[in-house]
Amino acid sequence: MNTLNPSLLSSFVPTGTLRVGINLGNPLLASLDGNSGDPKGITVDIANYIATKLQLPITFTCYPMAGATVEAVKSNEVDLVFVAIDPVRGADISYTPAYIQIEGAYMVKDTSPLTKNEDVDAVGNEIVVGKGSAYDLYLTREIKHASLLRSANSQAVVDDFMKGIGNVAAGVKQQLESDALRYDGLRMLPGRFMVINQAIGIPKARVDFEKTNAYLSSEIQELKDSGFIAEAMLRHQVQGAKVAE
């Protein structure tokens, strides 16, 4: 599918302007420009590409965390969001295939007896997570014995952890590694506990959302095949992630 017919376009973009929700909770995907205050990042580049392809004006609304971004698209504040694929969110949101994959990892203090990911899910352990993040949703389903403690967002996890909250910090691997540089006495547990697939999400409440998703999915595939995603990752210095297969 190379474009959207007028009926589909009206359903996808009912105001005539592509309203995009940007999640600032994951700096690998987007952040605010220090000079202009405008959002920038790989998600912004993809959204601008789609708007240009459809010959639409575009507006961005920024949210502090993934959960707020999801609520925005569910409540019809925006037409399109960039979030991690998750089955709980999938009840209301239709996803394209992933455009990049990010690793979820654990971090502990040097004095911790924990040495591997399998040690974490044990009675008495308290895992600090960013509220509403993809790894929060994942760990909520998967953790059976440890407890989850929720920070306001992903950026607050390590700061809360260093205030004495919890004994394990969970998050996007690169973000944890970056935050760890601000403190002494921290180490990553080897490997990862999950792979986070990042995708475009649109509301299932819209008429013919499946056809709109098919169009967006074809565009994402084209952006992966053409090298657009890889180039955007280099341009925005996205490390610790890879172009999704």
DSSP string covering 65-92:
SHHHHHHHHHTTS-SEEEEE--TTGGGT
Q: Which helix (H) or strand (E) holds 31?
A: strand 31-32
Name the residue with tokens 């960013």.
Answer: 130
Q: How confident is the model at residue 87 (pLDDT cuts 50, 70, 90)?
A: confident
Binning pLDDT at 50, 70 and 90, where does residue 82 land?
very high
The pair of three-digit structure tokens given for residue 91, joined into one six-digit string:
């009840």
Out of 3.20.20.70, 3.40.190.10, 3.40.50.800, 3.40.50.300, the CATH code matching 6-100+197-243 is: 3.40.190.10
Q: Are both 6-100+197-243 and 102-194 of the same fold?
A: yes
Question: Per the confidence metrics, is the pTM higher than 0.85?
Answer: no
Per-domain boundaries in the chain: 6-100+197-243, 102-194
Model pLDDT for residues 6-65, shown as the tens digit of each residue: 999 999 999 999 999 999 988 889 999 999 999 999 999 999 999 999 999 999 999 998
Residue among 170, 205, 193, 201 nearest 87 (CA)? 201
CATH class of 102-194: alpha beta
